[in-house]
Amino acid sequence: MDAPRFEESTLLFGRDRSERIVAAELAGRFIRLFYRTPDGVYFHDDPFHPFIILTNAHLLSGFPRPTTIRTLAGSGEFRHLALFNDWRTCLDARDYLVRTTSKTPSAAAAPYLFFSDPIHQHLLLTGKTLFKQIEFPEIRRLALDIETWCAPGFEFSNPLREEDRIISVAVLDSEGYEEVLSGHNLDEPAMLERLNRILQERDPDVIEGHNIFRFDLEYLRIRAARHGIRLAWGRDGSEPRVHPSRFTVAERIVDYPRWNVYGRHIIDTYFLLLVYDVGNRDLESYGLKAAARHFGLARPNRVYLEGSAIARTFLEDPQALADYNLDDVRETLALSRLLSYPYFLQTRMFPYSYQNCPIRGNATKINALFLREYLHRETAIPRPSGDGELEGGYNNLFVTGVVGPVAHCDVASLYPSILLAYRLQPDRERLGLFLPLLDELRTFRLRAKKMARETPDPHLRDYYQALQQAFKVLINSFYGYLGTTIHNFADMALAAEVTLRGREIIQRMLDWLAAQGARPVEVDTDGIYFIPPAGVTALGKAAELIGELSTTLPAGIDVEMDGWYRAMFSYKMKNYALLDDAGRMTIKGSGLKSRGTEKYLRDFTSEVVRLLLHGEGDRIDAVYQEYLQRLRDHAIPIDRLEKTETLNESPASYQQKVQQGKRLPAAAFELALQSERDYQAGDQISYYVTGHAKGVAAYENCRPVGSYDPTKPDENVEYYKKKLRLLHRKFIPFLPAEKSLFE
């Protein structure tokens, strides 16, 4: 079986065929490229020509430094490419443009395009990308994790406090090298010096850790500075460059100190979990241990320690602490292997470093593909189109309650399929790259899926599976790209036309199913849950029905059988539960499984839904009474009562808004302000509510979970009973009797 050569596509993978590049860094007037070979890593310096793209060549007419201006062909607004001798001159030109135009590079009306990352600029202009013809197991990845001492009387370890310190450092690399540095054998300066030597000796391409940016690296930096030790981690012996940064994923904002280590990448598995969960929404927590259990990566004999027990374990059982620390890096390396592989493959395509690929949005990546090709063809680039309104897909709820059996069908990649089937492309994309690129991605994905199914080699199977997933994400992002307002080739009017055609297709599907005697339960943009017509009582017959439905739609619009369920509980729009023939239950929607809800309420919801799906709704009131009694008896563990919230802004910003009357007080922020720890946007805080009255304000009666004493339980029983009672009421309309006894 001949393996397809995906990387021959210059649109997707860039025109430069340079192989085995693992990193790129600015080096004076050059970009230094690092190549990994079987004999080690060597480097080569590429000439670097930094640039700014202008709407008018005269914008730099008064700039006093050497500049080469090339006029780009076509009708795009950005039609003049200004090239400079070095990066410093390019930055000076940017500053000159800011002064003379009164527009920063990020301003919507700025008459110039400036890209702030010199590596991104070089990759855009040359068509090079990292990792071509090098496989994931060949790059050297090193996981790092530290454990720290916390002085008595304090809740969190603080690197600025003299008595707090690093007491254990574990490292593990992808070639099997492992080492634990213990504070029993080495003082803190010696541990830091040894860590320096490990990084130089093992020479990793990637440093990995869980929440490594916001904890491990910062702790190491501050303690090293205290002892006057240089963290010479760069491939040139340099110290890391650190600056404040912000990572945005969906509605979540994470402030963090970004580290750049010369010639290496840093991958934070915490960030990978955030991105993963946007599309899956099935993680209970973003903690390393919880994620390892979720993905089945935790060893059966894995050592677990509570944070409050770290210091005591260090004194009483240092080997247990070393084992715990080593288990952390084992899980980090395994978690990164699972979640970072698609980004490794994307780095072959996109003009970004590996470290940047996971934190760049998909629309931004797609825009970079167009920019790269336009620059290669010396073609002018359009200005982003600005604001617009976009009507969404067809969503409707037809039935609530428990029904069954239920089939689910959906249109495979509905919006990309519409774009291809109707040959729709943005007006402002004049080189005609949009549809060929989308078509190539779809073709490649189908071929990669086929190879994943057919190859007997497990490593190749993993490769093709990750590759098809990377292609799938990009394919489904093309429509989203059209609906943006900040990217150069977006087209809001075209996005609106696509959604209109999508609604028409779904309506045709509904009409056809109704004509066959089927009854819709819910429609959600590209899929339909429906009660099949009489006589369709099994999966095979339902698949035949959906196959017939697919033949009634335009060529290129394919409907697939996506599921067959014994029962469905339809609660409200986009909130439902499914029970398959094997007895597996799936719950979807924040109304039924919100992570913002205390776990005891999620447990209760899950039990209620299970009973409803199995036709045992008459037992729900008994379960409700049992939960009430357990609350009265303090028999529900505090980890089921705690609430975990993510800070969506800095505590200082929150405090200012509360003082100005711009927002209401919130428990998590109040605890953050009271804590000695320096909380930032993106941090999570877990707390429980104290007091006695059911109507207390949580922000006035909250305590951190770590302070809970099970021998002196002080949780507010009446408060938690009230929340349970309100939840129970939501299910009363779905109970077998007209009215619950405990309404």
* Strand arrangement of the beta sheet that strand 406-411 belongs to: 395-397, 519-524, 527-531, 406-411, 559-565
* 53-68 residue pLDDT tens: 999 999 999 999 989 9
* 656-693 residue pLDDT tens: 999 999 999 999 999 999 987 888 887 888 899 999 88
Instruction: Determine the pLDDT at residue 279.
Output: 72
* 191-204 residue pLDDT tens: 999 999 999 999 99
pLDDT bin (cut points 50, 70, 90) of residue 6 is: low
Q: Please tell me what DSSP assigns to residue 379.
A: B
User: What does each C-alpha distance from 651 to 13, 71, 418 come to in angstroms?
Assistant: 43, 49, 45
Please give the Cα distance from 611 to 330 (Å, whole number).
Answer: 39
* 357-393 residue pLDDT tens: 999 989 999 999 999 999 999 999 999 876 667 777 7
User: What are the boundaries of each domain within the chain?
Assistant: 1-20+117-129+350-383+428-489, 136-341, 386-423+491-590, 596-734
- More confident of the two residues 29 and 591: 29
pLDDT bin (cut points 50, 70, 90) of residue 2 is: very low
Please give the Cα distance from 461 to 463 (Å, whole number).
Answer: 5
Taking residues 71-82, report their average pLDDT: 96
**CATH number of the 136-341 domain:** 3.30.420.10
* 439-475 residue pLDDT tens: 988 888 888 888 888 888 877 787 788 778 788 888 8
* 305-356 residue pLDDT tens: 988 889 999 999 999 999 999 999 999 999 999 999 989 989 999 999 999 9
Instruction: Determine the pLDDT at residue 253.
Output: 83
Instruction: Tell me the one-letter amino acid at 595.
Output: R
Give the residue among 142, 151, 280, 301 at the shortest CA–CA distance from 216: 142
Tell me if 136-341 shares its fold with 386-423+491-590: no
- Tell me the pLDDT of the chain averaged across its residues: 91
Q: Using an 8 Å Cβ cutoff, are 684 and 290 in contact? A: no
Is pTM beyond 0.95? Reply is: no
Taking residues 6-33, report their average pLDDT: 92
Q: In CATH terms, is domain 386-423+491-590 a member of 3.90.1600.10?
A: yes
Q: Using an 8 Å Cβ cutoff, are 12 and 441 in contact? A: yes
Is residue 742's pLDDT more than 60?
A: no
Residues contacting residue 486 through CB under 8 Å, at least 6 positions apart: 108, 384
The CATH superfamily assigned to 596-734 is B family DNA polymerase, thumb domain (1.10.132.60)
Instruction: Determine the pLDDT at residue 5.
Output: 62
Instruction: Determine the pLDDT at residue 446.
Output: 83
Please give the Cα distance from 351 to 724 (Å, whole number).
Answer: 51
